[in-house]
Amino acid sequence: MRKKKSKAKSRTFVIYAFTSSVGVALAFAVYFWWSNISREFASVLQPHAIAAKCGFVMKDVVVFGRFRTNSDDVLAAVGVTAGQSIFLCNLKEIQQRLLKLAWVREASVRRSISGELYIFITEREPIAIYHSGQKFYLVDKNGSLMDTRIEPCFRGLPILSGANAEKAACGILQKLHAYKLVRANISAMQLVQERRWNLKLNNGVEVKLPAQNVDRALRVLEKLIRDGQASSGDIRVIDLRFGSKLILKYSDSGKAYLNALKKTKSV
């Protein structure tokens, strides 16, 4: 009797183990099957996928205010592709990428449910060229350097030098708007000890401006240029740093001429 009972128990245990293993295997199979179905089903139900299915897709990128910014650089910064959901575009990220372009000062991005992405750009306005070491940079109105190619149309801008000259350039150039003859005759500007400017005229004459009362010095310089006194080839330096006192430094030939003129008058 004991042998029959033990055989029955072992047979029951084998059946139980077999059915359990089959059940576990079926459970794993159902789980993996349902997981794949769920992922596919979930991808179809994603809001962006639904939006694309409903026709809210990217069709065109429209850019306003672009004159010197390369169009390929703008499209690369936008980073969208035709046919994707219009709602996939992260407008803030696109704006930040646009602001990294050399010519872009301000940028805003808007989208339309009809499928257009509108880009509004305000470009930088160069006012001078900054010379540092072996490199030249365009300088915008905010005193920022632009690491971009200097096109021929900008080569008439004054060349700046000196520490932080690019930051101080806007102030002196605004003053020069009132002195058109001076502004038209300047080829270069040097900021000295971050306090005052030396100007280089087109004829090579160096003009030393004071740290204070710059307008008075510019009025004197304007008159010298108008009267032709600053265009003499013998003058090398016009020093306006000492208020009403005007100091002129001549070339060697100019000094010889003045000395000879003095001797003639003394006779």
Q: Could you tell me the residue ranges of all domains in the chain?
A: 2-45, 54-123, 126-266
Which 3 state secondary structure label does DSSP give 264? helix
Answer for the pair 236, 250: CB distance below 8 angstroms, yes or no.
yes
Closest of 266, 222, 221, 227 to residue 248, by C-alpha = 221
Place of tokens 């005193």: 143
Q: pLDDT value at position 56?
A: 59
Q: pLDDT value at position 41?
A: 42
Give the Å distances, CA to CA, from 178 to 67, 212, 236. Answer: 29, 17, 25
* Protein fold of 126-266: Rossmann fold (3.40.50)
Residue 130: Cβ-neighbour burial (10 angstroms; 0-12, 13-18, 19+): buried
For 28-65, b/e burial (b = at least 16 CB within 10 A) is eeeeeeeeeeeeeeeeeeeeeeebbeeebbbeebebee
Beta partners for residue 200, in sequence order: 188, 206
For 176-192, b/e burial (b = at least 16 CB within 10 A) is beebeebbebbebbbbe
Q: pLDDT value at position 234?
A: 80
Q: What string of pLDDT tens digits covers the 267 residues of the chain?
A: 444 445 444 555 444 444 555 444 454 444 444 445 444 444 444 444 444 444 457 788 899 999 999 999 999 999 887 777 777 788 999 999 999 999 999 999 998 888 888 999 999 999 999 998 889 999 999 999 998 888 888 988 999 999 999 999 999 999 999 999 999 999 999 999 999 999 999 989 999 999 999 999 999 999 999 988 877 668 899 999 998 788 888 876 545 444 443 444 443
Give the Å distances, CA to CA, from 218 to 57, 158, 165, 193, 206. Answer: 60, 17, 19, 20, 13
- Supply angle C-alpha 155, 156, 158, rounded to 5: 100
Q: Read off the tokens for 151.
A: 């096109």
For domain 54-123, give the CATH number: 3.10.20.310
Q: Read off the tokens for 29.
A: 């199979």
Place of tokens 């008159």: 223
Q: Do domains 54-123 and 126-266 have the same CATH topology?
A: no
Cβ neighbours for 125, distance < 8 A, ≥ 6 positions apart: 140, 141
Q: What is the distance between the alpha carbons of residues 136 and 143, in angstroms, rounded to a whole number?
A: 14
Q: What is the pTM of this model?
A: 0.68
Q: What is the distance between the alpha carbons of residues 182 and 225, in angstroms, rounded to a whole number?
A: 7
